[in-house]
Amino acid sequence: MIVHNRALQSALLFLPLLLLICPARAADDRNPLANDPKAAKAGEYEFRINCAMCHGLGARGGGRGPDLTRAKKKHATTDADLFQVISNGITGTAMPGNGIGGQGVGMTDDEIWEIIAYIRSQEVKSSAASGNADHGKQLFYGEANCSSCHMINGRGGHLGPELSGVGASRTHDAIVDSVRNPSRILAWGLTESSKEFAQEYETVTVTTADGQQIKGVTLNEDNFSVQLMDAEEQIYMFEKDKLRSFSKSRESMMPAYNQTALSDRNLEDLIAYLASVGTK
Amino acid sequence: MRNNNEPSVIPTAAGARAHHKNSVIPTVAGAPATATWRNLLFLCSITTLALLTSASAQVTSDRILHSGREPENWLTYSGDYAGRRHSLLDQINASNVSKLTAKWVYQTNTGGRIEGTPLAVDGILYETGQDDRAFALDARTGRPIWLYQHQLPQDIRPCCGRVNRGFAILGDRVFLGTLDAHVIALDRKTGSVLWDQTSADYKLGYSFTVAPLVIKDTVIIGVSGGEYGIRGFIDAYDAATGQRRWRFYTVPGPGEPGHDSWEGDSWKIGGAPAWNSGTYDPATNQVFWPTGNPSPSNRGEGRAGDNLYSNSLLALNADTGKLNWYFQFTKHDEHDWDATQVPVLVDSNGKHLILQANRNGFFYVLDRTTGKLVSANAYGKQTWSDSKDAEGRPIAKKDASPTLEGHTVCPGALGTTNFYPPTFDPQTGLLYVTTRDQCDTFSTAPQPYEAGHAYYGSAYFPSDEAEPYRGFLKALDPATGEVKWKFEHTSPTWSGVLSTAGGLIFTGDAEGNFIALDAPTGKTLWHFQTGGAVYAGPMSFAVDGKQYVAIAAGSSLFTFALP
């Protein structure tokens, strides 16, 4: 960069000195510990304690939290964004603020910067998806029939999880696993502040008092009531004690896509499409 | 001689139903009472209450000692010194509980959650909430009489929520431990601070979340901070002046018995906090206080040995803090299995016992005279122990320790149970406890200790199994260790449990329901959706002859009564 303004030039010369003088602040755009080799290591300890429960060891994503090794993240771009997200959480998601609600132990500003240094050290350069995103889109809305249950950016069905952001938040392997073996780890649905765990996409079958049998996915449930959606996208709400029968299953309503239903190559195209949407 | 206000019998399982029907319950006099007699007793209590209220009666230590004489009040965290969380009120019972209705809700609007059990004294409730807020409410209407907000520094170290579990009371004052490790006495008429004692340096990770326990004229309190490499202790303060009378370090120093159970200098940061309320046996003047995990919680390397007195039950002389005996449930713990569950005192066949359904998945019965183990039986999913030592104590498998890449063990770090208080119902003779079946993958890595910083030496995370976590309310038989019945929740809950002389069990769930069940059978009889997850223990009280049941859910306090 060529700087024509002399005053600005002087300011830039003094910037490193200013950074040394000023203590770490949330307003910093850059991690003040970015060049401290010890910070990433210290951040790993903090990450294990505060973050790994949801985001997994190595920040590769757990059942609950997204993969953080992706360079491109949904809720944060700069270090300052990350600081804000870790400090305050993300409203409407399971991501809590620092030390709130029993998660984590309450970190100092420096400890948060250490975690950011660690996350940055774990990031892998976005490997260009090997598949063909355009063909993936055709599959999603066509032959593979994904859109009958899943919605992306306002287009598609209602029964399964909304997938606009999944390409940005889940690892390649996690998406493969969800398609090939959807019952192994059920997707998470509604997150309520009053519930420790988000509702999962369990399958529920009920028989009503008048003998009608209804099968669907649980939108929500407590000890005494259940709210569900059937394959026709009808919402039903029941008090359990008024039902003739109620049973739950962890066999997902989503069919398992084997090689015959969706070849590896087509799956890669689909993942490329999800990635292209998610990182927009 | 043993005091007769202790429960005099554990009825046999077969006799439980009959006891319930015929209302043979231990009374303050230790004699069985008929239902009519008990109702009369209740009326007498109410009459006494009216007199006491007009006289603005002090809460004497004698009243706390004989709390069974005034079932309309709730004078300690667990409702009595025995830790039974059992209300002698029976106006609300199995036949009418379906009509139970909400009376009032008090919203703190603090966010977070209330973990405290309110105290009820002569028509006033005293409760604590998020961030060491505290309040006194008109028990009939829920209208506040005073509010107190402790001013907390910005940089406190609350490991597990900015929570508090309630007050202790004596005389004209209520006592509170705070997140910055102060013990404070408030005037119970105004909430004014009468004394404020700094117990330890919060910057090193010390804090209080526990409801203190008043014994005679002493306030007993245990410290939190097992996630920060503290050295745990139990303190006793003069209720009048705030002067400290004794301190028992739960990690013995050089020259003290048990010190050699720690490697090198690891004792200095050995943890063993004491963050849940203990119980008291007036007959022997012993306070029974449970302790938590050694630090770092999930890494044993560097602290070779049993790590006394972590994860133990301590029997201390209430006047001096001198240790009479200890029992360690989990030796050299590496899974965060704090033994900080309320130890419940019961008597059976002339034996003076302690019941503790422990976080490590075993239900222990101890002889409280000697501290010897009577029985230990698994009451939930556990994989860490498949054998017992000569005394009958479960011992850990060789490969139960965390590894760098992670090793799956049940129960997980949150335990088969946790701090949420259980109840013992003398009518059924059963201990009712909230449980969780969840396994975790425990990972460990070296971590240097840094003063005031989180110090786990580890991570744990849900095991990658399709098996979902399951939560239950279980009724345990102390005589056999058997689970007599269980109620499965939609998901695991953090709610405590209350039993009442009305034959009822009250508990809450993670989805916000407050629930009444039939004590002998576990049948659900009533429920109410509060809209906030329950992290507290229910209690019961009476005003003007009307019985109420109270529960905190979210950051609000709810009460219920018959119409």
- Residues of A within 8 A of B159 (CB-CB) are 105-106
Q: Is the dihedral of CA B90, B94, B99, B104 positive or negative?
A: positive
Q: Would you say residue A23 has pLDDT above 50?
A: no
User: What pLDDT score does A127 carry?
Assistant: 58
- Residues of A within 8 A of B155 (CB-CB) are 108
Contact check, Cβ <8 Å, B466/A250: yes
- Residues of A within 8 A of B460 (CB-CB) are 53
* Chain B touched by A248 (CB under 8 Å): no
Contact check, Cβ <8 Å, A102/B160: yes
Contact check, Cβ <8 Å, A105/B512: no
- Of residues A48, A106, A222, nearest to B513 (C-beta): A222
Contact check, Cβ <8 Å, A184/B466: yes
| Amino acid (one-letter) located at B369 | T
Query: B98, B180, B453, B493: best mutation site toward chain A, by most A Cβ within 10 Å?
Result: B453
Token reading at B415: 């335990």
User: What pLDDT score does A269 carry?
Assistant: 97
Contact check, Cβ <8 Å, A52/B156: no
- Of residues B466, B492, B510, nearest to A185 (C-beta): B466
Beta-carbon contacts of B340 under 8 Å, excluding residues fewer than 6 positions away, are B273, B274, B275, B276, B290, B291, B292, B359, B419
Contact check, Cβ <8 Å, B158/A99: yes
Query: B115, B511, B534: best mutation site toward chain A, by most A Cβ within 10 Å?
Result: B511
How many residue pairs bridge chain A and chain B with CB atoms within 8 Å of each other? Answer: 105
Contact check, Cβ <8 Å, B461/A106: no
Strand pairing class (B86-87; B497-500) = parallel
- Residues of B within 8 A of A185 (CB-CB) are 464, 466
Q: Which of residues 195-214 of A touch B (CB under 8 A)?
A: 195-197, 200
Q: Cα separation of B198 and B201, whole Å?
A: 8
Mean pLDDT by 10 residues, chain B (563 residues): 36 33 33 41 45 63 97 98 98 98 96 95 97 97 97 88 95 98 98 98 96 98 96 98 98 98 98 98 98 94 97 98 98 97 96 98 98 98 96 93 88 96 98 95 84 80 70 97 97 97 98 97 98 97 97 97 98
* ipTM, two decimals: 0.84
Beta-carbon contacts of A105 under 8 Å, excluding residues fewer than 6 positions away, are A49, A50, A99, B157, B159, B160, B227, B228, B454, B456
| Amino acid (one-letter) located at A79 | D
Q: Cα separation of B221 and B168, whole Å?
A: 10
- Cα torsion B553, B527, B94, B476 to 10°: value is -60
Burial B261-275 (b: 16+ CB within 10 A, else e): bbeeebbebbbbbbb
User: What pLDDT score does A191 carry?
Assistant: 81
User: What pLDDT score does A15 carry?
Assistant: 42
Average pLDDT over residues A154-166: 95
Q: Which of residues 503-532 of B touch A (CB under 8 A)?
A: 509-513, 515, 524, 527, 529, 531-532
- Residues of B within 8 A of A46 (CB-CB) are 454
Token reading at B45: 């209590």
User: What pLDDT score does A1 carry?
Assistant: 35
Looking at chain A, which residue has its C-alpha nearest residue B527? A224
Separation in Å, CA of B372 to nearest CA in chain A: 35
- Residues of A within 8 A of B112 (CB-CB) are 100-101
* Chain A touched by B400 (CB under 8 Å): no
User: What pLDDT score does B320 carry?
Assistant: 98
- Residues of A within 8 A of B406 (CB-CB) are 57
Separation in Å, CA of A184 to nearest CA in chain B: 6
- Residues of B within 8 A of A26 (CB-CB) are none
Contact check, Cβ <8 Å, B447/A45: yes
User: What pLDDT score does A73 carry?
Assistant: 80
Average pLDDT over residues A167-184: 89
Q: Would you say residue A19 has pLDDT above 90?
A: no
- Of residues B156, B461, B490, nearest to A223 (C-beta): B490
Residues B43-67 have pLDDT tens digits of: 444 444 444 443 358 999 999 999 9
Looking at chain B, which residue has its C-alpha nearest residue A183? B466
Separation in Å, CA of B390 to nearest CA in chain A: 37
- Of residues B112, B447, B461, nearest to A53 (C-beta): B461
Contact check, Cβ <8 Å, A62/B462: yes
- Residues of B within 8 A of A184 (CB-CB) are 466
Q: Which of residues 147-206 of A touch B (CB under 8 A)?
A: 183-185, 192, 194-197, 200
Q: Would you say residue A217 has pLDDT above 60?
A: yes
| Amino acid (one-letter) located at B283 | A
User: What pLDDT score does B23 carry?
Assistant: 33
Question: Residue A41's pLDDT band (boundaries 50, 70, 90)?
Answer: confident
Contact indicator for B250, B310 with CB cutoff of 8 Å: yes
- Residues of A within 8 A of B489 (CB-CB) are 223
Q: Cα separation of A47 and A120, whole Å?
A: 12
- Of residues B113, B459, B511, nearest to A223 (C-beta): B511
* Chain B touched by A114 (CB under 8 Å): no
Secondary structure string (H, E, C) spanning B323-374: EEEEEECCCCCCCCCCCCCCCEEEEECCEEEEEEECCCCEEEEEECCCCCEE
Q: What percent of chain A has pLDDT over 90?
A: 49
Query: B455, B470, B488, B490: best mutation site toward chain A, by most A Cβ within 10 Å?
Result: B490
User: What pLDDT score does B56 carry?
Assistant: 55
- Residues of A within 8 A of B532 (CB-CB) are 194
Edge-first strand order for the sheet with B286-290 is: B279-281, B286-290, B312-317, B323-328
Q: Which of residues 406-445 of B touch A (CB under 8 A)?
A: 406, 443, 445
Catalytic residues of B: 338
What would the DSSP string read from start to end of B25-39? B--TTSS-B-HHHHH
User: What pLDDT score does B520 carry?
Assistant: 98
| Amino acid (one-letter) located at A229 | M
* Chain A touched by B404 (CB under 8 Å): no
Contact indicator for A245, A221 with CB cutoff of 8 Å: no
Q: Would you say residue A208 has pLDDT above 60?
A: yes
Contact check, Cβ <8 Å, B511/A195: yes
- Of residues B159, B468, B509, nearest to A223 (C-beta): B509
Secondary structure string (H, E, C) spanning B178-215: CCCCEEEEEECCCCCEEEEEECCCHHHCCECCCCCEEE
Contact check, Cβ <8 Å, B461/A222: no
Comparing A2 with B346, the larger pLDDT belongs to: B346
- Residues of A within 8 A of B275 (CB-CB) are none
Contact check, Cβ <8 Å, A223/B156: no
Overall pTM surpassing 0.90 (yes/no)? no
Strand partners, B362: B378
Separation in Å, CA of B534 to nearest CA in chain A: 9
Helix (H) or strand (E) holding A135: helix A133-141
Contact check, Cβ <8 Å, A49/B462: no
* Chain B touched by A97 (CB under 8 Å): no
